[in-house]
Amino acid sequence: MLLGAMDAAGVHKAIITSYEGKDILPDLKGDASALGDTCVEDYYAAHCAYPERLIWFIDSIDPADNNYLSTVERDLDRGAQGIGEWFPAFVGTLPNDPRYERLYDLCRERQLPMIIAFEHWRPGWDTCTCVEDYATFLETFAEVAESYPDVKFLVTHWGCCCWGGADPPFPLLPTFIGLMKRYDNLLTDIAAHQFLFRPPTSSALLEQLVEHLGADRVLYATDWPWGDPSPKAMAANVAFVKNAPFLDEDQKARILGLNACRFLGLQED
């Protein structure tokens, strides 16, 4: 399904991030019945089958497991090219949790890019750490960005500052943009905009990100298979960027691929 959608949309490569059931249980309200038997080995097999198309990132990292680094290193040694972490992925974790320092150190040592997502920062989520407000939460990540300036972090979903829906002018977006401006090693993406918002709201979000951060800091992304996993949907998502009237051709090229190449350390061809 993914390869078919990519072909229809003209997408050459995609990042696949290895979820396990425990990573998305909060979204399913603790009901694991629909998860099936998907595990890290399935992502590894997909990457091995299509190494030129699918770039494997590791997820499912539990800081309470004292041996988690050995599992991460095993997967890196067999082909994973980066690390993803969803905060707080487990109860009580924040980006500056000391138990993650070994993971950040590993990214620095191996020059690995890292995808960070903040979906569950808000009070009301089962895994929330009850941070008082968005700015306070972001400061826990600012400590990491400052301590690891040579690690490239992709803060996905425009920082989840309006996760679940909001209308322009997006009241929390300036807070996220302020964090991004402080650290040159941070990028963001537009994943999930296509099913959380509708034009012109989604266009306003992209326009503000480019206006304040520049096209070099924003990546195209889908959040596939969430929302609509069909080839038509992915093609429409690419067209959303290609047809944006406020972007020139150079900006479109950067958002649709060149920035991802830089993040991943790939040649820009």
What is the spatial order of strands in the sheet that 218-219 belongs to?
14-18, 54-58, 82-86, 114-117, 153-155, 186-189, 218-219
With respect to residue 39, please indicate whether it lies within any of the assigned structural domains. Answer: yes
Assigned token pair, 69: 């680094």
Tell me the β-bridge partners of 225.
none
Angle at alpha carbon of residue 93, lines to 143 and 98, rounded to 5°: 50
Domain extent, residue 135, equals 2-264
**What pLDDT does 121 receive?**
72
pLDDT tens per residue across span 200-225: 889 999 999 999 999 999 999 999 98
Give the integer Cα–Cα distance in Å for 154 and 217: 9
- Domain count for the chain, please give it: 1
Residues 59-87: pLDDT tens digits? 878 788 888 899 999 999 999 999 998 76
Q: Which of these, 143, 92, 162, 152, lies nearest to 116 by C-alpha position? A: 152
Give dist(CA 221, CA 237) in Å, integer.
9
Cβ neighbours around 94 below 10 Å, total: 17
pLDDT above 80 for 11? yes
For residue 149, count CB atoms less than 10 angstroms from its CB and return exposed for 0-12, middle for 13-18, buried for 19 or more.
exposed
Does residue 51 sit within a domain? yes
Q: Do residues 104 and 131 lie in contact, with contact meaning Cβ atoms separated by under 8 Å?
A: no
Respond yes or no on whether the N-terminal peptide bond of residue 98 is cis (omega within 30° of 0).
no
CB of 117 within 8 A of CB of 156? yes
- How is residue 125 annotated by DSSP? B
The answer to whether residue 223 is domain-embedded is yes
Rounded Cα–Cα distance for residues 217 and 86 (Å):
20
Q: What share of the chain has pLDDT > 90, as a percent?
A: 63
Dump strand ranges (E) for 123-191.
153-155, 186-189
* Per-residue pLDDT at 257: 97
Residue 269 lies in a domain: no
What is the model's pTM?
0.92
Average pLDDT over all residues of the chain: 88
* CATH code of the domain covering residue 112: 3.20.20.140
Q: At 96, which amino acid appears?
A: N
